[in-house]
């Protein structure tokens, strides 16, 4: 699975995980890899990255979540670093 595909799966799983279910990536049938990655991200990083994965830009996210555009940028950057992504393009 590519990193982009994995991030999309992760974000979809995080959103679905909010209802109580974990997803698997194919690499770890037990879901342990996804659980480890979920624990790396703060709740706000998950929320911001989920909106980025849906195609929202930083201005839209800052308006929706009542954050400054700089704060959104920091959440995106920190989340990408934790997921070992090198750029926003790789994550979108």
Structural domains counted in the chain: 1
Maximum C-alpha span of the chain: 38
pLDDT per residue as tens digits for the range 19-55: 343 333 333 434 455 777 778 899 999 999 999 989 9
63 versus 17: the higher-pLDDT residue is 63
Q: How far apart, in Å, are the Cα atoms of 54 and each of 20, 29, 36, 78, 92? A: 21, 26, 23, 18, 8
Which pTM does this prediction carry?
A: 0.61
Domain that holds residue 35: 3-91
- How would residue 56 be classed by pLDDT, with cut points 50, 70 and 90? very high
**Quick check: helix, strand or coil at residue 2?**
coil
Domain with 27 in it: what CATH number? 1.10.10
Predicted confidence (pLDDT) at residue 60 exceeds the cutoff of 80: yes
Two structure tokens written together for 27: 């690499």
| Whole-number pLDDT of residue 41 | 92
What's the whole-number mean pLDDT along residues 48-72?
Answer: 94
Positive or negative torsion for Cα 19, 27, 52, 74: positive
């Amino acid at each position: 699975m590519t990193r982009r595909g994995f991030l999309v799966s992760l974000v979809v799983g995080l959103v679905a995980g909010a209802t109580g279910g974990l997803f698997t990536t194919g690499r770890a049938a037990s879901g342990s890899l996804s659980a480890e990655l979920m624990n790396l991200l703060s709740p706000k990083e998950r929320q911001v990255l989920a909106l980025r994965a849906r195609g929202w830009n930083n201005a839209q996210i800052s308006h929706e979540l009542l954050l400054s555009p700089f704060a959104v940028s920091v959440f995106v950057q920190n989340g990408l670093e934790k997921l070992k992504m090198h750029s926003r393009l790789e994550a979108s």
